């Protein structure tokens, strides 16, 4: 019995170290303010653009610096991917900006680096007061005045980090084992 207790104590010690390491690693990293959002815009003639964007919510709680736009659709039909993000200055891979209330919009999501095809939404600079698609693949050169009341954006629900789950399970297991050892 004594030998079995030594093994159990070593197991508890190992689990405690694992848990402590996992928790300290988790606490030592700062998570980015980045999030994913679902967005939609209904045009004046009833066409509906939808998609997902990634970005960081700014301190004002209203604007989002956009880093990627994906899964675009027009009336439920998939559109080509838009890996290139630009703003009205036209700088390659610049940060686009959107806002929850639609008052600040400056986003170009392009299919290629020349940015001749894509979706452009804005009320600043060259995108001034427009929702524009530039080719048949993106709605046949559609151009519509931007209306903030037709813009919708919502953060996607977050999925818990697997490492946090592992740390909590390890902590729980070490507690159960330690409790069962005390009862002996």
Instruction: Determine the pLDDT at residue 28.
Output: 43
For residues 34 and 61, give the distance between their C-alpha atoms in angstroms, rounded to a whole number.
13
Q: What share of the chain is helix, strand, coil (3-state, %, to 5)?
A: 30, 35, 35
Residues of the chain with pLDDT under 70: 1-32, 90-93, 124-129, 134, 140-142, 158-169, 171-175, 178-184
Instruction: Determine the pLDDT at residue 161.
Output: 60
Alpha carbon distances (Å) from 47 to 8, 121, 139: 65, 14, 9
Instruction: Determine the pLDDT at residue 122.
Output: 81
Q: What's the token pair of residue 30? A: 């700062």
- Sorted by where each begins, the domain ranges of the chain are 2-30+165-183, 34-155
Cβ(32)–Cβ(55) under 8 Å? no
Q: What is the pLDDT of residues 2-31, one digit of tens each?
A: 445 566 556 555 555 555 544 444 444 444
């Amino acid at each position: 019995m004594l030998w079995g207790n030594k093994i159990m104590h070593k197991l508890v010690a190992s689990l405690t170290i694992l848990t402590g390491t996992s928790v300290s690693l988790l606490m030592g990293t700062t998570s980015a303010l980045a999030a994913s959002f679902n967005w939609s815009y209904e045009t004046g003639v009833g066409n509906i653009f939808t998609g997902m964007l990634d970005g960081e919510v700014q301190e004002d709680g209203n604007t989002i610096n956009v880093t990627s736009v994906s899964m675009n659709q027009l009336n439920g039909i998939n559109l080509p991917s838009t890996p290139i993000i630009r703003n009205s200055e036209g700088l390659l891979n610049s940060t686009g900006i959107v806002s929850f209330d639609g008052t600040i919009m400056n986003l170009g999501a392009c299919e290629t680096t020349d940015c001749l095809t894509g979706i452009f939404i804005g009320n600043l600079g060259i995108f001034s007061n427009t929702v524009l698609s530039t080719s048949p693949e993106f709605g046949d050169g559609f151009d519509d005045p931007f209306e903030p009341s037709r813009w919708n954006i919502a953060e996607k629900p977050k999925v818990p980090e697997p490492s946090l789950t592992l740390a909590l399970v390890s902590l729980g297991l070490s507690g159960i084992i330690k409790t069962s050892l005390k009862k002996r």
